[in-house]
Amino acid sequence: QVQLVQSGAEVKKPGASVKVSCKASGYTFTSYDINWVRQATGQGLEWMGWMNPNSGNTGYAQKFQGRVTMTRNTSISTAYMELSSLRSEDTAVYYCARGGVRRTLFYWGQGTLVTVSS
């Protein structure tokens, strides 16, 4: 069965960076895009971007351009999302999700809470 298992919660100071991992299993990792979506407490879903694990190609939401980097390690079927220059407004649960046609998000990770606090 398809599974996406994310790394554990993180606490960071303003200005720092955070790198969240997403380990895929149950399917061929390089065959489907990985998308990242975040959700602040009590708020809605916010799409951050996508990565093609085969080519490494990426596409980011305009809001995160210059601050987000999505990468992968195909040897261990793991995708990464790094967000830099963190501020308090970045406190949220970050989800990875396997994308289908036109970014339909069929499978989701369990989420990773990132807290930004001084």
Partner 1 sequence: QSALTQPASVSGSPGQSITISCTGTSSDVGGYNYVSWYQQHPGKAPKLMIYEVSNRPSGVSNRFSGSKSGNTASLTISGLQAEDEADYYCSSYTSSIVVFGGGTKLTVL
List interacting residues with partner 1 (CB under 8 A): 35, 37, 44-47, 59, 61-62, 95, 100-106, 108-111
Q: How far apart are CA 90 and CA 88, in angstroms?
A: 5
Q: Cβ closer to partner 1: 9 or 16?
A: 9
> Tokens 């489907």, residue?
32
Q: Residue 36 in contact with residue 83, Cβ under 8 Å?
A: no
Q: Residue 53 in contact with residue 30, Cβ under 8 Å?
A: yes
Q: Cβ closer to partner 1: 13 or 44?
A: 44
Q: Residue 108 in contact with residue 3, Cβ under 8 Å?
A: no
Q: Cβ closer to partner 1: 17 or 66?
A: 66
Q: Cβ closer to partner 1: 19 or 103?
A: 103
The nearest distance, CB 80 to partner 1, in angstroms, is: 18
Q: How far apart are CA 67 and CA 60, in angstroms?
A: 10
The nearest distance, CB 86 to partner 1, in angstroms, is: 22
